[in-house]
Amino acid sequence: MKEIISFDHVTFSYDDIPIIENACFSVKEGELIGVFGPNGGGKTTLLKLLMGFIKPNSGRASLFGKSPKESHQNIGYVPQKLPFDPNFPISVLEVVLTGCLSKLPWHGRYSSENEKDAYHALEQVDMVDFSGQAFGTLSGGQAQRVLIARALVSKPKLLLLDEPTAGIDAQTETEIYKQLDELRGKVTIIMVTHHLRIVTEFADRVLLVQRDVTSLDSKELCEHFAIGLYHPPHLKKERS
Ligand SMILES: Nc1ncnc2c1ncn2[C@@H]1O[C@H](COP(=O)(O)OP(=O)(O)OP(=O)(O)O)[C@@H](O)[C@H]1O
Ligand SMILES: [Mg+2]
């Protein structure tokens, strides 16, 4: 399989505080990767580096053979926090259409093709019946599925999800994972989660992020090992 992501000694700091240090890893096309690690360990920061929202201080990040910024059209992103005010009066379909923004023509109008893609994305997450409903009235699990549809609408080659099932009940969570499982192999998926069971059962491989980035085979990551490996990043900083 073709390598689509490569991080070569990537270091990133906020105000001189290192958040990601010397990260070296690669991802192949079609892989489903779990990103795991303690709060504040740098998982969201790693996704932001992948999207080119922030730039490494040193080292090189490349996506599809280009810089992350040049590759953003290939990426669908499901953020950890809602990207807009949930009370803003916007329908489910309109939320999904905002996922087409980066591909809109100069006049900025959605085409009928965009709408067709939006309905298709809603079908993929089983939410097409809600297309006309106000987004703010959805339950947490339904809203999350719509945000996944929003990320899928631009037909990305790479799907990044930042804790897509946080605060969601077990049954809806299982449904979301089933839907993501159906995308397995069709799109490369990188998903941040705190659920160890999901990482071990669902992902092909795990990136453990706690300032440094370690790639592990999911099978290597049993619960005991993960707990043993966890340490607050600031402790690590004091030691080094
Ligand atoms: N814009 C920012 N400016 C300064 N520091 C930041 C900024 N964004 C994040 N940080 C810091 O960077 C560190 C890593 O944050 P990040 O959001 O990547 O962690 P995370 O692994 O996603 O945590 P969580 O599991 O809580 O979502 C934290 O200490 C955080 O306070
Ligand atoms: Mg985070």
Compute the distance between CA of residue 211 and CA of residue 19 in angstroms, rounded to an integer.
Answer: 5
> Which of 13, 14, 53 most suits a substitution to test ligand 1, by most atoms within 8 Å of the C-beta?
14
Residue nearest to atom 7 of ligand 1 (CA): 14
pLDDT of residue 33: 95
> Which of 19, 20, 231 most suits a substitution to test ligand 1, by most atoms within 8 Å of the C-beta?
19
Q: Write out the chain's pLDDT in tens, 240 residues.
A: 899 999 999 999 999 999 999 999 999 999 999 999 999 999 999 999 999 999 999 999 999 999 999 998 899 999 887 777 878 889 999 999 988 876 666 666 778 889 999 999 999 999 999 999 999 999 888 999 999 999 999 899 999 999 988 878 888 888 888 888 989 989 999 999 888 877 788 899 999 999 999 998 877 776 545 555 554 443 344 433
Residue nearest to atom 30 of ligand 1 (CA): 40
Amino acid found at 87? N
Three-state DSSP class for residue 92 = helix
Residue nearest to atom 1 of ligand 1 (CA): 14
Pocket of ligand 1 (CB under 6 A): 14, 19, 37, 39-45, 80
pTM, 2 dp: 0.89
208: left (phi over 0), alpha (psi -120 to 50) or beta: beta
Give the tokens for residue 218.
């999911």
Give the closest ligand to the alpha carbon of residue 233: 1
- What is the helix (H) or strand (E) element at residue 34, kind and residue range? strand 32-36
Give the closest ligand to the alpha carbon of residue 237: 1
Compute the distance between CA of residue 116 and CA of residue 55 in angstroms, rounded to an integer.
Answer: 35
- What is the helix (H) or strand (E) element at residue 155, kind and residue range? none
pLDDT of residue 79: 86
Write down the residue that tokens 């839907």 correspond to: 179
Give the tokens for residue 43.
């998982």
Residue nearest to atom 8 of ligand 1 (CA): 45
Tell me what the pLDDT averaged over the chain comes to: 87
State the closest ligand 1 atom to the C-alpha of 194, by its place in the atom list counted from 1. 25
Q: How far is the CA of 175 from the centre of ligand 1 (A)?
A: 29
Q: How far is the CA of 46 from the centre of ligand 1 (A)?
A: 10
Q: How far is the CA of 42 from the centre of ligand 2 (A)?
A: 7
Give the closest ligand to the alpha carbon of residue 48: 1
Q: Mark the residues whose beta carbon lies below 5 A from ion ligand 2.
A: 43-44, 80
Write down the residue that tokens 């019946």 correspond to: 129
Give the closest ligand to the alpha carbon of residue 46: 1
Q: How far is the CA of 94 from the centre of ligand 1 (A)?
A: 30
Compute the distance between CA of residue 8 and CA of residue 24 in angstroms, rounded to an integer.
Answer: 5
Q: What superfamily would CATH give domain 3-239?
A: P-loop containing nucleotide triphosphate hydrolases (3.40.50.300)
Give the start-to-end residue ranges of the domains of the chain. 3-239
pLDDT of residue 190: 96
Compute the distance between CA of residue 109 and CA of residue 123 in angstroms, rounded to an integer.
Answer: 23
